[in-house]
Amino acid sequence: MAHALLTFLLSRFRQRNHEIQARGSLVKFLSKLFVPAIAALVMLGFAPANAAPITYDFNLTPIYGPSGNGSFTVDGPVTWLGDHFSAADGDLLALEFNIDGRTFDLSNAAAFPDPTVDFLFGGTINIAYASGDFFLNFGSLGLGYTYNNVFGQTYSGGFITDIRVADSSNPTNPVPEPLTLALLGAGLAGMGAMRGRRKAAA
């Protein structure tokens, strides 16, 4: 959505560039184009945060070998700009994988890498976990995993897909974030100040 907004702003800038040069009125152009754009970005950032831990479910979709599933719970909120949750910090509350009849969780996780989950723009971009024969990593094609049970002679590898909030029928109550409210207030105050200047100039 932010990319579409920036594309629109760039095309609008190109259309109005000749008008600006002809009129020589850069202030008018900026007030007509960028003030609404800034207000739109402020409103876009007005995303609610969850006030309670959030559990996500996902699937292990193999390229080879058996499939599986899993879940993780973070001590929210998950913000739009990005968050890092780790077992060492205590804000990654649970992380569990089920594959080939075996279950892996935080109790049998290796100390390195520290089990973590990272978010950016509201989506999961990285899950780090290792436990003997189960490894997760972030690859260029998405979140990937490999499973190698040498003793059981089972091998699997693929992608983590369908990451979603576990219980969407009972969502937690949204709570506006303080920074978002401050940005909204600053944007509205700026719009009011611009309107006052226009009236005074007229």
Among 9-18, 25-34, 105-114, whose mean pLDDT is lowest?
25-34
Q: Domain segments of the chain: what residues?
A: 2-48+176-201, 50-166
pLDDT greater than 50 at residue 5: yes
Distance, CA of 202 to CA of 195 (rounded, Å): 11
The pair of structure tokens assigned to 11 is: 């095309």
Distance, CA of 59 to CA of 199 (rounded, Å): 58
In contact, 60 and 99? CB cutoff 8 Å: yes
Predicted confidence at residue 161, as pLDDT, reads 86
Among 25-29, 71-75, 121-125, 135-139, whose mean pLDDT is lowest?
135-139
The pair of structure tokens assigned to 143 is: 């979140």
Mean pLDDT of 36-48: 54
Helices (H) and strands (E) in the chain, counts: 3, 12
Predicted confidence at residue 107, as pLDDT, reads 87
pLDDT greater than 80 at residue 41: no
* Confidence grade of residue 92 (pLDDT, cut at 50, 70, 90): very high
Predicted confidence at residue 55, as pLDDT, reads 93
How deeply is 102 buried, as exposed, middle or buried, from its count of CB atoms within 10 A (0-12, 13-18, 19+)?
middle
Predicted confidence at residue 85, as pLDDT, reads 92
pLDDT greater than 90 at residue 94: yes
The pair of structure tokens assigned to 103 is: 């279950």
pLDDT greater than 80 at residue 108: yes
Mean pLDDT of all residues in the chain? 72
Instruction: Please state the separation of Cα 59 from the chain's center in Å.
Output: 18
Q: Give residue-wise pLDDT tens across range 130-156.
A: 877 666 543 434 678 888 776 667 778
